Amino acid sequence: MNLTAVFVQDGEWIAAWIVEIPGVNTQGATMEEARANLRDALALVLEVRREESERELIGRTVQREVLEIPEP
């Protein structure tokens, strides 16, 4: 699966976000920094959402599986 990263020059900074996942956004002074920060932001958002989901599932019977998303 590929995600769409958007980078926009905003004054001295480059703002960045992932189109498909609201809340994954950041900035950087260079493209390389913005790209690295965006990867970190994605990892953090996914970690937090997993933790929130786990708290909501306490005491429930749950089945988990890996969902593979093929490229179109």
Q: Which pair of structure tokens corresponds to residue 53? A: 């989901």
How far is 19 from 52, CA to CA, in rounded Å? Answer: 22
Q: Which residue has the tokens 């179109």?
A: 72
Cβ–Cβ contacts within 10 Å for residue 64, how many? 6
Give residues with Cβ within 8 angstroms of 21, minimum separation 6: 3, 42, 45
pTM: 0.84
| pLDDT tens-place values along the chain, 72 residues long | 889 999 999 999 999 999 999 999 999 999 999 999 999 999 999 999 999 999 999 999 999 999 998 887
